[in-house]
Amino acid sequence: MADNTILIKNAVILDPNTDYDEKKDLLINNDLISEISDNISDENVDKVIDATGKILLPGFINTHTHLSMTLFRGLADDLALDEWLNDNIWPMEANLNGNYCYIGALLGAVELIKSGTTTFSDMYFYMEDVAKAVEESGIRAVLSYGMIDFGDEEKRKAEIEKNMALFKNCHDAADGRIKVFFGPHSPYTASEELLREVRKLADENDMKIHIHVSETQKEINDVSSEKGLRPFEYLDSIGFLGPDVLCAHCVWLNDNEIDIIKKNDVKISHNPCSNMKLASGIAPVSKLLENDICVSIGTDGASSNNNLDLIEELKTASLLQKVSTLDPKVLTSDEAIAIGTINGAKALGLEDEIGSIEVGKKADLILIDTNNANMIPDSSNLSSNIIYSANGSNVDTTICNGQILMENKKLTTLDEQEIYDKARKAIEELKALL
């Protein structure tokens, strides 16, 4: 097959790994960044994008979502996790099917692409249908099936089979854009037997693990009373933790647990909006960063956030650390950019492929238009303008795996209106089933 080339001209590049002091041209050859230099000829190039007045960044990486939960946006607000999940979300999820999850995932993909996210890490149900939405939208994803057994042996076997089937069917699918992890839901919904089995199978199959840990004080109390240990102490005691484990939330951590996280090189997905909305608490992110722990960012589902805008999430993360430590110097805009890009890639074990703008890496890129009221004056501090002033609606162009998914704010792979119509219908049907 002939090569497909895209040339991005005159780009001001903002990258966490590299300091570019002048405008550059960047050439994409099929799925990869093949050249970055001062002046690349547009001869024999299939497509040229003029990036004048735009900032070029790596696509953002959302390391903790439940994408199909876009269908439940705004349906159970102003509640704490326990009541939100047990009395509202789980009853609605009982009526889900593959088609609803597919439509919810498409709706989520539209929102992600429009706000500059090129990779998301998801834990949910009917994941083969979510994979179909990923395949069609052109976005990159790490998918895990949310396993819950509550100690029931039969359920445990069935849950593990579902996650393994997802791995066999979808790992490396969609031209390698889809990876599959294990998704044991949490230490309070997954039994010790399930967690031990997941650890064993993860080692045997070279799979990584995505789990919720230490989200609320209630979780700390419940796990402590049942196991005599706090959640991270318990997970460490059963040999579950390792560099391949991505833990969402991590709000309630004592110093010993921070040492355990560091010792095991566990990866963190910080979810500040969800933690604030469910009044779960404030994760000690600046302390984790001081300890060189890999902190990435996630929105959680759209029902506890209530959007998937990663730029807003990064601003919230930064402001929340400043106000909770009473130190304005913590979690700077430069650190926020790294958390949203290269740290996300490291958290997913994909740092050799994505997360920064480098020759040989996948062409997962976004352009942010500076010709907007909230972006003027043009700051010499680009990260400040992106994190503190911008939001997802300033994203103009989104490219994933060398394919343009949005150009000049117009989606190329998905029919927005058709998806909105289908999502509205699905939500009405789900509400009627309650």
Ligand X SMILES: C[C@H]1O[C@@H](n2cnc3c(O)ncnc32)[C@H](O)[C@@H]1O
| E-assigned strand segments in 174-234 | 178-184, 209-213
Interacting residues with Zn ion between 290 and 329 (CB under 5 A): 300
Nearer to ligand X, 25 or 93 (CB): 93
Q: How far is the CB of 288 from ligand X (least distance, A)?
A: 18
Nearer to ligand X, 6 or 112 (CB): 112
CB 142 within 8 A of CB 210: yes
Partner from Zn ion, ligand X, none contacting 295, C-beta within 5 to 8 A by type:
none
Q: What are φ and ψ of residue 356, in 5° steps?
A: -155, 165
Give 362's DSSP letter. Answer: B
Interacting residues with ligand X between 375 and 404 (CB under 6 A): none
Nearer to ligand X, 117 or 304 (CB): 304
Handedness of CA 284, 290, 294, 297 (dihedral sign): positive
Q: How far is the CB of 349 from ligand X (least distance, A)?
A: 21
Interacting residues with ligand X between 61 and 90 (CB under 6 A): 66, 81, 85, 89
The answer for 209, left when phi > 0, alpha when psi is -120 to 50, beta otherwise, is beta
Answer yes or no whether residue 184 interacts with ligand X by CB under 6 A.
Answer: no
CB 55 within 8 A of CB 15: no
Nearer to Zn ion, 189 or 321 (CB): 189
Partner from Zn ion, ligand X, none contacting 119, C-beta within 5 to 8 A by type:
none
Nearer to ligand X, 185 or 346 (CB): 185
Q: How far is the CB of 215 from ligand X (least distance, A)?
A: 5
Nearer to Zn ion, 67 or 337 (CB): 67
Binding residues with Zn ion: total (CB under 5 A): 1
Interacting residues with ligand X between 195 and 224 (CB under 6 A): 212, 215
Q: How far is the CB of 276 from ligand X (least distance, A)?
A: 12
As a whole number of angstroms, the distance between CA 153 and CA 159 comes to 10
Q: How far is the CB of 300 from Zn ion (least distance, A)?
A: 4
Closest residue to ligand X in the complex (CB): 146
Nearer to ligand X, 280 or 394 (CB): 280
Answer yes or no whether residue 185 interacts with ligand X by CB under 6 A.
Answer: yes
Residue 300 in marked binding region: yes
Nearer to ligand X, 11 or 423 (CB): 423
Structure tokens at 388: 């503190």
The 3-class SS string of 259-278 reads HHHHHHCCEEEECHHHHHHC
Q: How far is the CB of 368 from Zn ion (least distance, A)?
A: 27
Closest residue to Zn ion in the complex (CB): 300
CA dist list (Å): 155 to 14, 20, 182, 399: 47, 53, 16, 40
Rounded to 5 degrees, what angle do the CA atoms 97, 100, 104 make? 140
By rule CB under 6 A, what string of x and - marks binding of each residue 311-350 to ligand X?
----------------------------------------
As a whole number of angstroms, the distance between CA 50 and CA 47 comes to 10
Distance of CA 130 to the CA centre of its chain: 14
Give 59's DSSP letter. Answer: P
Residue indicated by tokens 């484990």: 245
Closest by CA to 287, choosing from 336, 244, 348, 330, is: 330
Kindly report whether the peptide bond that precedes residue 328 is cis, defined as omega within 30 degrees of 0: no
CB 103 within 8 A of CB 419: yes
Interacting residues with ligand X between 37 and 66 (CB under 6 A): 66
Answer yes or no whether residue 105 interacts with ligand X by CB under 6 A.
Answer: no
DSSP-assigned letters across all residues of 306-357: S---HHHHHHHHHHHHHHHHT-TTSS-HHHHHHHHTHHHHHHTT-TTTSSS-
Residue 210 in marked binding region: no
Nearer to Zn ion, 6 or 250 (CB): 250
CB 303 within 8 A of CB 69: yes
Residue 66 in marked binding region: yes
Q: Would you list which residues are annotated within the binding site for Zn(2+)?
A: 64, 66, 212, 300
Chain positions contacting Zn ion, by CB under 5 A: 300
- Contacts with ligand X by CB under 6 A lie at 66, 81, 85, 89, 93, 123-124, 146, 185, 212, 215, 274, 300-301, 304
Binding residues for substrate: 93, 185, 215, 300
Q: Which residues are annotated as a binding site?
A: 64, 66, 93, 185, 212, 215, 300
